[in-house]
Amino acid sequence: MRDYIALIDCNNFYASCERVFDPHLKNKPVVVLSNNDGCIIARSNEAKTLGIKMGEPYFKCKNLIKQENVKVFSSNYTLYADMSNRVMNIVKEHFVNTEVYSIDEAFISFPSENLSEIENRFIKLRDKIAKWTGIPVSIGVAPTKTLAKVASKIAKKNSGVFSLFDKTTRNKILKELPIGSVWGIGRRLNKRFIRLGISNAYQLSTMDHKHVKDLTNINILRTAIELGGIKCIDIDSQPSNKKQITTSRAFGKTVTDIKFLEEAVSVYVSRAAEKLRIQNSKCSIITVALSTNRFDEKNTHKFLFMTESLESSTSSTQELISIAIKLLKRIFHEGFMYKKAHIFLSGLEDSKFKQYSFKDNIKDIKQQDKLMKAFDKINKTFGSDTMKYANTGISRDWFMKRERRSNRYTTNWNEILKINL
């Protein structure tokens, strides 16, 4: 019995989520914008056909969007995360060995004796996900992760399930696959390979291993071997904790006043600290950064930052806020037009194995941990920000622009789907 890999990939995920709750959007062009309604980050097939590009700034294609009556949504990550959980839970019910690779992709590893039954099994899974959640998925099946990724792209253009086992078919497909479209080959490597005359995936798969390694690194060698049908990259079903936590977002408008920045930094620190506690970590390094608008042609782009190492690692929101505000005051420079704030927490360690120092007041730390636990529980039960630190502001008028956000249909009672009888 051999193990095979499948990649479940949600089609145009964010746009598909919006469609589930509004059938009017069926067969219509739909796009979703990034935070602050900046760029296009998801397109329905119809929007792709119109020539709207991924990552294109919204203002650049505004005319086309108006002309073609494209439906535009601000990103609604609360909804997308919940719909993603639903899809992933269905996959996990069928396959124990599942790696949730991103919000809209999951790898699974499964044993099979009989190649012919595989496709049927995945057609059933695809249909079940579509019926249960309304989300269309494509599934690529192959002997390796890298090939499953290739197969899923083909699946997307065909009926939705494609398996890639046959060697002749595989070689034919790889010959037509540009090297830059291979999983793990970034823009820079793509350029380098093309300069060397390696333009398609097949060439990489047949290169001498030592040569590949000398040219690039061990990861790309793995990719090359995987393209040849031999498994090198395992399924990672136990997601490891993040080594750094970042909260970085642009404001809804440019900000010059330090009062607003203090609020924004406090909110971002609160989010970052929550993420920290979800994975049971404490951090010992905090960095606060401010940046001005990159697209401003009159003024040069500024990036100001400062880092502090803590004597004792922490995950307490209030401790982190007070340090962050202190750093903010030091880097703040009057007269700049700030567009974005960033918080980086690093030097993470597992809360259970926290190293106490002699100066630590263990009783205070334990009390702070308990307080945060209660704080998180309240916010989990009654909705995020039910309880918050006053520094994070009440009005938050610097907050993100999300003018066209749809309802949070699955997580907020006031926003569930409404139907007229």
Which residues of the chain form contacts with another protein (CB under 8 A)? 22-24, 26, 82, 85-87, 89-90, 93, 131-134, 380-382, 409-411, 413-414, 416-421
Work out the angle at residue 381's Cα, subtended by the Cα atoms of residues 378 and 324, and round it to the nearest 5 degrees. 45
Residue among 91 and 212 whose Cβ is closer to another protein: 91
Residue 364, helix vs strand vs coil: helix
How many of the other CB atoms lie within 10 Å of CB of 358? 4
* Closest distance of CB 380 from another protein, Å: 8
* Closest distance of CB 221 from another protein, Å: 38
| Distance between CA atoms of residues 99 and 77, nearest Å | 21
| Distance between CA atoms of residues 143 and 169, nearest Å | 14
What token pair was written down for 389? 């630190």
Residue 36, helix vs strand vs coil: helix
Residue among 26 and 330 whose Cβ is closer to another protein: 26
Burial class (CB in 10 A: 0-12, 13-18, 19+), 19: buried
8-state DSSP, 55:
T
Contact by Cβ (8 Å): 18, 406? yes
What token pair was written down for 131? 């019926």
* Closest distance of CB 134 from another protein, Å: 7
* Closest distance of CB 173 from another protein, Å: 33
Residue among 356 and 382 whose Cβ is closer to another protein: 382
Residue among 86 and 213 whose Cβ is closer to another protein: 86
* Closest distance of CB 382 from another protein, Å: 7
| Distance between CA atoms of residues 29 and 43, nearest Å | 8
Residues 6+ away with beta carbon under 8 Å from 278:
none
Nearest to 61 by CA among 25, 24, 36, 33: 33
Contact by Cβ (8 Å): 249, 306? no
Residue among 133 and 406 whose Cβ is closer to another protein: 133
* Closest distance of CB 418 from another protein, Å: 5
Q: Which residues pair with 5 in a beta bridge?
A: 109, 142
* Closest distance of CB 25 from another protein, Å: 8
| Distance between CA atoms of residues 223 and 221, nearest Å | 5
Residue among 368 and 407 whose Cβ is closer to another protein: 407
Strand order in the sheet with 30-33: 40-43, 30-33, 71-74
Residue among 133 and 317 whose Cβ is closer to another protein: 133
Residue among 313 and 410 whose Cβ is closer to another protein: 410
| Distance between CA atoms of residues 88 and 90, nearest Å | 5
* Closest distance of CB 416 from another protein, Å: 5
Residue among 64 and 278 whose Cβ is closer to another protein: 278
Phi, psi of 412 (to 5 degrees): -135, 120
* Closest distance of CB 111 from another protein, Å: 24
Cα 229 from chain centroid (whole Å): 28
Q: Which residues pair with 306 in a beta bridge?
A: 288
Residue among 129 and 372 whose Cβ is closer to another protein: 129
Task: Give the containing element (helix H, strand E) for 59.
Answer: helix 58-67
* Closest distance of CB 133 from another protein, Å: 7
